[in-house]
């Protein structure tokens, strides 16, 4: 973080503490909802489905923003300073590597939940949520966190979590069936963010970029040759990253670029769109 940003952060904390001291009122008395901060939009759906009317969610990285570089504005940090719980992804998302400790320092009394607890992690990919099976684990961790900060509504949280996990089971079965029938075995993507999805459904992910860097001309040439040999005609990109290299490869193989986002909101609908796009990528 830049020195100016650090100064602004601590000034913000000072203002918030002063405000709290002047009012003498705990934030939960002013707002009956449990305030939960989340890193990404898919988690927002998880928390809202489990928490229902009992929660208000503060989203740190909005859809379309790149978690590798995004910095939250002071207004969002002010909301986090009054949160009861932070549902951190926990799998090494770049934003959390930079901000998690700073966010915890803003609000020492806030419960920090590691949503990756219980997930079989892939060290090279932090995008655990693109697997509905992992999403079930994340939902369970969120449910337990909400029960810890708000035990009075434990029955509601458990009922909501169980219902949503059933929907995730149905989504998982739907995706597995669609991909099995499609015959697709490889997906070429600009940014390597689908490893968990690929592991669940027997796909091989072929990334264009490497370690956040644009591919070299030699790498592009290799990928074009691979796409031609294996009949890959759809190159996947995302709104959070450049599409330039994907467009170069697609042009060389007379293919198309299709955008799919791992960070979009409306998780269930988005994952259905992604699965359909992958399944149709092997069509004539």
Summarize pLDDT for 22-40 with one digit per residue, the tens.
Answer: 333 344 554 489 999 999 9
Q: Angle, nearest 10°, between helix axes 41-51 and 267-280?
A: 130
Calculate the alpha carbon distances from 148 to 15, 51, 104, 179, 238 in Å: 29, 13, 17, 39, 36
Report the pLDDT averaged over residues 1-26: 45
For residue 2, the model assigns a pLDDT of: 52
Span 246-260, average pLDDT: 97
- CA distance linking residue 264 with residue 270, whole number of Å: 7
Computed over every residue of the chain, the mean pLDDT equals: 90
Q: How confident is the model at residue 64 (pLDDT cuts 50, 70, 90)?
A: confident
Helical segments of the chain, H only: 3-23, 27-30, 41-51, 74-81, 94-106, 132-149, 154-182, 195-201, 217-230, 244-252, 267-280
Record the pTM: 0.89
Residue 82 pLDDT level (bands cut at 50, 70, 90): very high
Share of the chain above pLDDT 90, in %: 82
Give the per-residue pLDDT at 20.
Answer: 42
Would you say residue 15 has pLDDT above 70?
no
Beta-bridge partner residues of 58: 37
- At residue 266, does pLDDT exceed 60? yes
What angle, 0 to 180 degrees and rounded to 10, lies between the N-to-C axes of helices 41-51 and 132-149? 50
Two domains, one topology: 3-172 and 182-280: yes
- Looking at residue 8, its pLDDT comes to 52
Q: Which of 142, 136, 97, 101 is nearest to 119 (CA)?
A: 136
Instruction: Please give the full DSSP string across 17-58, using - where no structure is assigned.
Output: HHHHHHH---HHHH--SEEEEESSHHHHHHHHHHHGGGEEEE
Superfamily of 3-172 according to CATH:
Nitrogenase molybdenum iron protein domain (3.40.50.1980)
pLDDT at 92 over 80: yes
Give the CA angle between residues 120, 123, 126 to the nearest 5°: 80
Distances (CA, A) of 57 to 28, 50, 84, 140: 14, 12, 10, 17
Q: Which residues have CB under 8 Å from 255's CB, separation 6+?
A: 227, 232, 233, 234, 235, 249
d(CA 214, CA 205): 17
Pull the structure tokens for residue 272. Answer: 């259905």
Residues 59-75, buried b or exposed e (16+ Cβ, 10 A)? Answer: bbbebebebeebebeee
For residue 106, report the phi and psi dihedrals to the nearest 5 degrees. -60, -30
As its CATH architecture, domain 182-280 has 3-Layer(aba) Sandwich (3.40)
Q: Is the pLDDT of residue 11 over 90?
A: no
What integer is the mean pLDDT of 202-223?
92
What is the per-residue pLDDT for 284? 53
Who wins on pLDDT, 219 or 9? 219
Per-residue model confidence as pLDDT tens digits over 138-169: 999 999 999 999 999 999 999 999 999 999 99
Domain ranges of the chain: 3-172, 182-280
């Amino acid at each position: 973080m830049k020195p100016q940003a650090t100064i602004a952060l601590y000034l913000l904390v000072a203002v918030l503490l002063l405000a709290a001291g002047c009012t003498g009122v705990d934030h939960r008395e002013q707002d009956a909802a449990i305030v939960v901060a989340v890193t990404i939009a898919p988690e927002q759906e998880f928390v809202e489905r489990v928490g229902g009317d009992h929660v208000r969610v503060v989203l740190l990285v909005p859809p379309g923003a790149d978690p590798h570089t995004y910095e939250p504005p002071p207004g969002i940090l002010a909301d986090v300073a009054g949160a009861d719980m932070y549902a951190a992804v926990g799998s090494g998302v770049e934003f959390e590597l930079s901000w998690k400790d700073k966010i915890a320092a803003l609000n020492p009394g806030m419960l920090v939940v590691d949503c990756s607890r219980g997930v079989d992690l892939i060290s090279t990919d932090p995008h655990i949520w693109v697997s509905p099976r992992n999403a079930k684990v994340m939902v369970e961790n969120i449910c337990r966190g909400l029960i810890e900060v708000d035990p009075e509504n434990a029955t509601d949280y458990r009922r909501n979590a169980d219902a949503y996990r059933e929907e995730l089971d149905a989504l998982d079965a739907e995706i597995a069936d669609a991909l099995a029938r499609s015959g697709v075995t490889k997906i070429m993507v600009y940014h390597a963010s689908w490893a968990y999805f690929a592991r669940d459904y027997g796909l091989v992910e072929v990334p264009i970029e490497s370690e956040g860097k644009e591919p070299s001309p030699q790498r592009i040439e290799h990928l074009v040759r691979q796409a031609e040999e294996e009949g890959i005609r759809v190159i996947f990109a995302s709104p959070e990253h450049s599409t330039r290299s994907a467009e170069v490869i697609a042009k060389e193989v007379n293919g198309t670029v299709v955008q799919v986002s791992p960070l979009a909101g409306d998780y269930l609908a988005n994952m259905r769109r992604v699965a359909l796009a992958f399944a149709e990528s092997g069509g004539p």
